[in-house]
Every structure is written in structure tokens, then in C-alpha cells.
Chain A
Amino acid sequence: EAGVAQSPRYKIIEKRQSVAFWCNPISGHATLYWYQQILGQGPKLLIQFQNNGVVDDSQLPKDRFSAERLKGVDSTLKIQPAKLEDSAVYLCASSSTLRQTGQYFGPGTRLTVT
């Protein structure tokens, strides 16, 4: 079974630029999550999708972050404009049902904002 795929793996941008990350979840997983993981800390949930609908985006900085999952499969996370404090690893995860199987994480995209 293929895992969660993410691209790119690394990205370096200057502050005020924009950036987008892509995620392809495990086939058949209806729930998709985006997390931000700052160096040395645990992942923090940014947004959760159930199919193509948003379940929870309470911790997404909506003035600069946006995410979509138009067809209920792949998802993109965008930051515009980026700030220095956005430097982190952005993890995508998917699950069929959180409580039954746990979430499966992708390898993440490491973003450096200079």
C-alpha cells in the first residue's frame, strides 16, 4: 500500500513570497490533515478535511494560509505572504477513521523562510 505522498520535500523562499505544498493521501482515506511542525516540537493541526469539506480550520492563520481539497483526494496548502516564523515542516496525514486506525503521515515538506 502506498503511503501519503508530499511534494516538494524542501523549499526555501524569501519572506513575503508565496509557496504551495501538495499532498496525495492514502487511497480511500476520506480524512486529510495538514500539520505544522516547528523544529523540536510536536505537530500542530492546521486544518482537517473530510472528503472535500473542511471539518476544522480553527488553528489555520487564515490571513495568510489557505488549503483546498477540491475533488476529495489531493490537497494543496498555500502560504501567501510567508513570514520568517512560518519556517517549519508541513506534514500531511490521512486516515479512514481517526479512532480506528490512527493517522498515517507523509514525509513532510521542510520550509525555510529567509
Chain B
Amino acid sequence: GESVGLHLPTLSVQEGDNSIINCAYSNSASDYFIWYKQESGKGPQFIIDIRSNMDKRQGQRVTVLLNKTVKHLSLQIAATQPGDSAVYFCAETPTDKLIFGTGTRLQVFP
């Protein structure tokens, strides 16, 4: 129900530390994955994507790791900054649909 959804998993990190946000996906047929960042009052913003034929992809300060064996995805943020504070969603595409996972709230403290 909605009350359960309100209790987002939360990761609190100190500014400058590295953050790791995890996501378990459900469909072994998914071949494309995306991480989104959603700040308060805004729509999800694309961060990085990865195809199932890769196990790692790096962007600017972000790295996505994919473990298909255990259906696990992670987002690593290097040198976390206050502007990284947001809710992060992973999304999978078992077909052409984008299916979002449960979000994780990242809180960055000084």
C-alpha cells in the first residue's frame, strides 16, 4: 500500500565519500537497464545505462555494475556531493517497457 511505499530505503553518506546504491531486478529476460535520479518536484533524470552484454560501464563520477547471475545492479557514485541528494531508481526492460524498481533515497551530509 501507499504507507509501505513511503518508507524508501535510505542511504546516508558524508560529502566526499563514495556511494553505492543497489537494485535487484526481477526479469532474467531484461537486456537493458537504466539508472534514474529524481530530485524533489522533478521528473526522473537519466544517469547511465548498461546493456546485458556488459558487466560494467563508467560515466562521469558514476559507474554501473551488472551481475546477471544474481540479477543485481548497482550504481556507484564517486566523491558524493550535496547535489547528488535525490531518489535513485533502477529500471529494466524485459520487453520494450521500462519497469522501475523501488527507489533508494540518497542523503548527503556535510
Contact = CB atoms under 8 A, between A and B. Distances in A.
Interface string B42-66: 1111100100000000000000000
A91 B46 CA distance: 14
Contacts of B45: 105
A40 B44 CA distance: 13
A91 B41 CA distance: 11
A40 B98 contact: no
A79 B98 CA distance: 23
Taking residues whose C-beta sits less than 8 angstroms from the other chain, chain B's interface range is 20 to 34
B5 A98 contact: no
A71 B11 CA distance: 44
A104 B46 contact: yes
Interface string B72-110: 000000000000000001010100111011110000000
Contacts of B36: 105
Nearest to B7: A40
B21 interface: no
A107 B6 contact: no
Nearest to B32: A99
A56 B97 contact: yes
Per CB-CB distance, the 5 closest pairs between chain A and chain B, nearest first, are A42-B100, A105-B43, A40-B5, A40-B6, A41-B5
Interface of A: 4, 38-45, 48, 56, 91, 93, 98-99, 102-108
9 contacts: A39-B5, A41-B5, A41-B102, A42-B89, A42-B101, A42-B103, A102-B49, A104-B46, A107-B42
